[in-house]
Amino acid sequence: MRRPNPLLPRLCAALFLLMAPMASSQTLSVQPLNVVGTVSPADWEAYRSRFVEDNGRVVDTANGNISHSEGQGYGLLLALAAADRSSFEQIWNFTFTELLIRDDGLAAWKWDPAAKPRVTDRNNATDGDLLIAYALAKAGAAWQEPRYTTAAQKLARAIGKTTFARNGQSLTLLPGAHGFGASDRPDGPVVNLSYWVFEAFPVMAALAPEYEWNRVWRDGVMLLQQTISGRVRLPADWISLHNGLQPQPADGFPPEFGYNSLRIPLYLLRAGMTDMEWLRALRQRWSADNEGVAVVNVVTGQIRERLTDQGYAILPAALACALDGTPVPEALKTFEPTLYYPSTLYLLAKSLLGEKYPQCVSSAVP
């Protein structure tokens, strides 16, 4: 007989705190997702058969078939969304045995099947750690499995201890334990706003309440508002916060709103944070009448690449649905997996739409 999960009351309390008004120009809130049962068996099987090996390794097919902590976290979350406990356990086993090898409790981010040893970069990627901890916590609660909850709590504590960094009056989230802090590089600290998985923060606050999750969440939102205040109104993937000055594109990275940052609006929608005015501006920018989803130079506004894959095309469709109730186009309702990353974004968006906005994806004729 399984005991009730002792963290559930804390999860509810943390959620209440995070739904309080924040110190920003808008009232923001985080609304929890159920997740379980929001990806159909057919969609999950199409994804699993292409990107998940039998040993639980999630394969990034556009990146030399490597695996990384981000992919393992997404794989866990999508297996949970499909209510596939067997696949979840396989993905977790690979993650635990192959990536959770650091002394600080975080996951090594990069695993290469062509290299020996397989882990070719032991630094962590904080978004991957967040995704893994979040999926484990949700699975532990949904399936009453204390083993998952305990692992999630350990990882949440490691994230708070190792990746939270003070920068002037702000508390920020470093992308990795090494290489991004103020003492690591001349323009440090450097952050990536797409590493704020907003829906995960209430869960992390319940798992590790000794750390200031609410403040990191709030300061991340405020940083986003700062970075979209310029002419182009798009955040760069990699941002320098050196000396507390106005955020700037970080040295050594293209000054682009690119493959990282384009998932920020999806994370905002999944957290229920639909009242940000920027989302409406982005919805207009991403419309078929304008530039669509694209990699954009945030300094010049020049488009470097237009992204037309189904997994990117569903992002403006999700925005239009959440903000205006616009039905998702028929061409986007059937999953056609291509590469790992856009296919993952597609299922995350479709999972959200199915749970919160089913009217937008219903095939029924009014």
Q: What is the pLDDT of residue 13?
A: 44
309: annotated active-site residue: no
Identify whether 127 is a catalytic site residue: yes
Share of the chain above pLDDT 90, in %: 87
Q: What is the pLDDT of residue 30?
A: 82
pLDDT value at residue 41? 98
User: What are the beta bridge partners of residue 165?
Assistant: 172
- What pLDDT, in 10s, does the model give residues 220-274? 999 999 999 988 999 999 999 998 879 999 999 999 999 999 999 999 999 999 9
Number of domains in the chain: 1
Residue 3 has pLDDT above 80, yes or no: no
- Evaluate whether residue 36 is within a structural domain: yes
Residue 317 lies in a domain: yes
Q: How open is the CA angle 22-27-32, to the nearest 5 degrees? A: 85
Supply the range of the domain harboring residue 251. Answer: 8-356
361 within domain boundaries: no
Q: What separation in angstroms does the CA of 83 have from each of 35, 49, 52, 190?
A: 9, 16, 16, 37
Tell me: the pLDDT tens digits for 329-357?
Answer: 999 999 999 999 999 999 999 999 999 99
- What CATH number should be reported for the domain holding residue 116? 1.50.10.10
Contact (Cβ atoms closer than 8 angstroms) between residue 250 and residue 237:
no
Q: What pTM value is reported for the model?
A: 0.92
pLDDT in tens, 108-141: 999 999 999 999 999 999 999 999 999 999 999 9
The rounded mean pLDDT for the chain is: 92
Section 299-318 average pLDDT: 97
Asked, for residue 16, whether it belongs to a domain, the answer is: yes
Catalytic residue among 43, 70, 89, 256: 70
SS (H, E, C) 108-164: CCEECCCCCCCEEECCCCHHHHHHHHHHHHHHHHHCCCHHHHHHHHHHHHHHHHHHE
**Annotated active-site residue in 43, 60, 84, 127:** 127
**For position 9, what pLDDT does the model report?**
46
Residue 195: CA count within 13 A, CB half-sphere:
24
> Is 364 contained in some domain?
no
- Residue 151 token pair: 């692992």
Closest among 36, 112, 48, 31 to 77, alpha carbons compared: 36
Tell me how far apart the alpha carbons of residues 237 and 304 are, in angstroms, rounded to a whole number: 14
User: In whole angstroms, what is the distance from residue 51 CA to residue 17 CA?
Assistant: 37
Give a yes or no: residue 2 inside a domain. Answer: no
Rounded alpha-carbon distances, angstroms, from residue 270 to 35, 143, 250, 334: 10, 22, 27, 20
> Please, which pLDDT band fits residue 7 given cuts at 50, 70 and 90?
low
- Chain centre to alpha carbon of residue 258: 15
Residue 362 lies in a domain: no
* Cα-to-chain-centroid distance, residue 56: 20
Q: Look-up: residue for tokens 């998702």?
A: 328
* 103 part of a folded domain: yes
Quick: pLDDT tens for 168-203. Answer: 999 999 999 999 999 999 999 999 999 999 999 999
